[in-house]
Amino acid sequence: GGHTGEMLRMVRGIPGFIEKFPKRTYVFNTGDSLSAKLAADLEMELKNAEKGKRENGSAASLIAVPRSRAIGQSLATTPISALKTLITCLRIIVERDPDLILLNGPGNAFIIALACVLVRICSFGTWGTSRIVFVESFARVKTLSLSGKLCYYIVDRCIVQWEGIKEKWKDVEYRGLLV
């Protein structure tokens, strides 16, 4: 999908991505086989580009998490599915203790960020010290998306790709087009 494409273009644009982040986890929605395939293809591309350079123990994994809310799902049942997603994401954060959580999508972006913040709080800051960065979609020209508005308050950095958004949300970082 569009958000997956944006994320993969951002990752491709990070110089030395494999060296900086030797253990990578791509999280996608259950049933989103296209995003899983695109992430696997990116990993193959990155590793092929690294051939001939020293081996750094690089490893990537793909993990499917339940959707926090399916398209057309009743608002009455959304809290239950969001809780299932949150529990899954809490497990991922605790097991992997990532250095960076890079988010850009709808729905689960907020749940993943919330899971990380909850781990920080429950461990009194000794676990879950991941930097959480939300990058708003380049399609959002004038205001933050709902996910962006929710993430704004709990992430370490909220990055936008259009300057007009910075005028309305004082703590966002404008970085120009990243995708």
DSSP string covering 125-175: TSS---EEEEE--TT--SS--HHHHHHHTTSSEEEESSHHHHHHSTT-EE-
Domain ranges, ordered by start, for the chain: 2-174
Q: Where do we find the tokens 């494999």?
A: 18
pLDDT at residue 5, as a whole number: 86
pLDDT at residue 128, as a whole number: 65
pLDDT at residue 1, as a whole number: 60
CATH number of 2-174: 3.40.50
pLDDT at residue 83, as a whole number: 95
pLDDT at residue 52, as a whole number: 60
pLDDT at residue 58, as a whole number: 72
pLDDT tens, N- to C-terminus, the chain (179 residues): 688 888 999 888 888 888 888 889 999 999 889 999 999 999 888 888 777 665 556 788 999 999 888 778 888 888 899 999 999 999 999 999 899 999 997 778 999 999 999 999 998 777 767 899 999 988 788 899 999 999 999 999 999 998 989 888 989 999 888 87
Query: 178, 102 in Cβ contact below 8 A?
Result: no
Query: Any idea of the CA torsion for 77, 37, 64, 155, to the nearest 10 degrees?
Result: -80
CA 133, 97, 108, 44 torsion-angle sign: positive
Query: 24, 61 in Cβ contact below 8 A?
Result: yes
Residue 48 class from Cβ within 10 Å (0-12 exposed, 13-18 middle, 19+ buried)? Answer: exposed
pLDDT at residue 56, as a whole number: 57
**How many residues are present in the chain?**
179
